[in-house]
Amino acid sequence: MFYSSIGHYSLILGLCISLILIYFSVKNFKNSTILNTKILSFTFLQFFLVVISFICLIISFVLSDFSNETVFNNSHTTKPLFYKIAGTWGNHEGSLLLWLLVLTLFIFIFFLKTKNQPLKYKLLTLIFQQIIIIGFFLFLIETSNPFNYIYPMPEEGMGLNPILQDPALAIHPPILYLGYVGSSIIFSSALAATYLNIVSNVWASHIKKWIVVSWVFLTLGILLGSIWAYYELGWGGFWFWDPVENVSLMPWLALTTLLHCILVLEKKQVLTSWVIILSISTFTLSMCGTFLVRSGILNSVHTFANDPERGLFILVFLFSLICVSLFIFFFFHKSSQNNLNSFFWLSKETSIIINNWFMMYFLSVVLIGTIYPIFLDVLSSQKISVGPPFYHKLIIPFLIPFLIAMAIGPKLKWIKSNIVDKVYLILLLVISIVLSFLIVKKFDFNLLLNTILVSSALYLFFITLREFFIKKYSNISQNIAHFGFSLLILSILFNNLFSSEIITNLKVGETFTSSKTKIVFKSINQKKEKNYKSIIANFSIENLDGIIDNLSPELRIYNQPNIVTSEADIKTTLLSDKFIVINIVQNQDYFNVRYQVKPFMLWIWLSVILISFGGLISFFKKEYEK
């Protein structure tokens, strides 16, 4: 009760400070040439107030204060402490408070770290950022206040959805939000720079740090979500093209493109329109994601809150931001078109523009796949959902030239170049084609498409691999990231091609035998934990080579809320994952057993880590490729 009031009032104070900050910034913007020191103090104060409010919410969760509606809806006394704390941001209200926390933190850091930029630019960025912050304050206080009271106070809470009780999911939202919110700084800064007409290489190298940081966090955030889906949902996959996954992928695609454009802008006064539009769209796509997920407009496996009022608020807010940014872009941006023609056809710039168009294509495919069901629903009241085949058909063919461009592009020089090492480029291409032909042939798959796909991925793989040995680490971050990407595509391809699955119903003591594997259902144990009971099944699985693995999948019956979850047991080795999951068959002694062998799963995770590691290195490196 006490903590809820503190939290609530510090939120309101934080909102007031936004207004004060805007007032001071506008005044300072007009009059003086020196930064008003009050602005920095107020920015910190605002951050501090949101921290207090966030801590209050955590305390309410830890103490299980059920007079707080958010705690009541999402917690329970028997929940382990770790998930009580993680539950703070595992729900709609708390996650928005976290979003706000990161927003205020980032603008504070932005002010501290930005030294060599014009004062007007800093102030204008602050104003734009405060407009966004005000929007979120209002949204939080009006439609989703985390500090609502319930009277009389309930005895016990409703509990956190068990599928959300997973370590990967506990850190997934904060990491993802760091990425999303980082894009808001890029957005404000791009608008400010456009307004003042200072979009130049100086600005580019300043904002590049922010782009890289947001990109690294966004990449890791998506990875964690994917790991969670693989281990917890028990469907045996890591990406389902679910709308909620797509809305995190869209900003990532835009941000990745932006990351490449900003490298060009750093060198040469070109692609300014690209940079501005991408900065705007990265943030609006993040917001659009929030809208789609939070409003319940989409049907998805993990839509959180269904509340049209919230949806309307975000929708209006989102479109006002789009209008403002379009206005600024069209009226203040002076494009540098004369420079565009000076590209030589064979140069790094051209290859980056090619990359841009590919990325834009992928982005539009995902965007259309995600929002088309909404349009159709409005037009014809027909409910459809767009599944993996749509994305696979549209994306895979274009992946081939994309991969090849990715292999050759970085080898080109800025402005104008000839291809060096022609012999190696062709030699490696031939090797990749032969190698993938042999692989595909041996296992008798659909020959043509798979050969081309695998060979283009292998090509990128070999070229980046060779690069590690010959170059003097002048551009190691880019090379690591591209190497990671080739590894990712290869792992996904091999994972798809070589996966095998057995589905059967077994009783305790029974054995299932197929040509390659023997599954023995040995026994069942029961276990009682603090907030769930579990049934553990013990299997031993023998494959052709006579190697025996013991796997023990689990069924958990949570007491609050009363939900049964299947915990897969996964044995991870360097080359493949063995994945087994059981389900209850109603009223019978049988269990439904699903056993999968999934090669290269570990490499999918590792390669994404490698990709973000590449980004991280470029953040710590002083200069990019002299």
Binding stretches for another protein (CB under 8 A):
291, 295-297, 299, 306, 308, 311-312, 315, 319, 322-323, 326, 330, 374-375, 377-378, 381, 586-587
| Smallest gap from residue 316 Cβ to another protein (A) | 9
| Smallest gap from residue 606 Cβ to another protein (A) | 39
Nearer to another protein, 292 or 490 (CB): 292
Q: What is each CA distance from 90 to 57, 118, 406, 499, in whole angstroms?
A: 12, 40, 38, 33
| Smallest gap from residue 378 Cβ to another protein (A) | 5
Distance CA 615, CA 610 (A): 9
Nearer to another protein, 135 or 599 (CB): 135
Distance CA 178, CA 170 (A): 14
Q: What is each CA distance from 104 to 108, 121, 176, in whole angstroms?
A: 6, 18, 16
| Smallest gap from residue 91 Cβ to another protein (A) | 18
Nearer to another protein, 302 or 411 (CB): 302
Nearer to another protein, 26 or 378 (CB): 378
Quickly tell me which residue has 């897969």 as its tokens: 568
Distance CA 186, CA 501 (A): 45
| Smallest gap from residue 375 Cβ to another protein (A) | 5
CB 92 within 8 A of CB 290: no
Nearest of 181, 145, 191 to residue 9 by alpha carbon: 145
Residue type, 240: F
CB 126 within 8 A of CB 40: no
Nearer to another protein, 515 or 586 (CB): 586
Nearer to another protein, 381 or 515 (CB): 381
| Smallest gap from residue 311 Cβ to another protein (A) | 5
Neighbours of 308 (CB within 10 A): 11
Nearer to another protein, 105 or 322 (CB): 322
Q: Would you call 624 helix, strand, or coil by DSSP?
A: coil
- Write out the DSSP string of 395-424: HHHHHHHHHHHHHHGGGSPSSS-----HHH
Kindly state the tokens that stand for 355.
């990359």
| Smallest gap from residue 323 Cβ to another protein (A) | 8
| Smallest gap from residue 382 Cβ to another protein (A) | 12
- What count of residues does the chain have? 626
CA dihedral 483→486→492→497, nearest 10 degrees, is -130
| Smallest gap from residue 242 Cβ to another protein (A) | 16
Q: How open is the CA angle 64-69-75, to the nearest 5 degrees?
A: 40
Beta bridge partners of 597: 500, 578
Nearer to another protein, 130 or 144 (CB): 144
Give 338's contacts (C-beta < 8 A, 6+ positions apart): none
Beta bridge partners of 518: 513, 542
| Smallest gap from residue 330 Cβ to another protein (A) | 4
Nearer to another protein, 297 or 555 (CB): 297
Q: Is 9 exposed, middle or buried (0-12, 13-18, 19+ CB in 10 A)?
A: middle
